[in-house]
């Protein structure tokens, strides 16, 4: 068994934390980490910095609900428009 299984978790149910979504899970949830501990956040997109309320804590991960968004996910750089030549 993994020895980290029994270590104290960096979050508990009801905690509100600000995290950056690092990736997207296969089911579309955002994946963030708090002190290396994974938090899944529904409706969050990669690159966003969001405020999350922890709703469930399991042995290896937590689940959080999106409270608010601190910053947008970075958009791709806009392409410069071609200038007509005379």
Q: How far apart are CA 55 and CA 52, in angstroms?
A: 9
pLDDT recorded at residue 1:
56
Task: Identify whether 65 is part of a domain.
Answer: yes
For residue 43, give its domain range: 8-71
- Residues 27-79 have pLDDT tens digits of 999 999 999 999 999 999 999 999 999 999 999 999 999 998 776 655 544 44
Whole-model pTM?
0.77
Three-class secondary structure of residue 59 per DSSP: coil
Q: Is 79 part of a structural domain of the chain?
A: no
**Which CATH number fits the domain that encloses residue 65?**
2.40.50.140
Q: Which residues pair with 61 in a beta bridge?
A: 38
How many CB atoms are closer than 10 A to CB 52? 27
């Amino acid at each position: 068994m993994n020895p980290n299984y029994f270590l104290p978790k960096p979050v508990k149910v009801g905690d509100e934390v600000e995290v950056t979504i690092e990736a997207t899970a296969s089911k579309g949830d955002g994946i963030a980490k708090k002190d290396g501990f994974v938090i899944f956040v529904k409706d969050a997109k990669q690159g966003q910095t969001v405020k999350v309320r922890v709703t469930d804590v399991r042995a290896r991960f937590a689940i959080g609900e999106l409270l608010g968004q601190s910053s947008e996910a970075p958009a791709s750089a806009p392409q410069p428009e071609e200038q007509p030549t005379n």
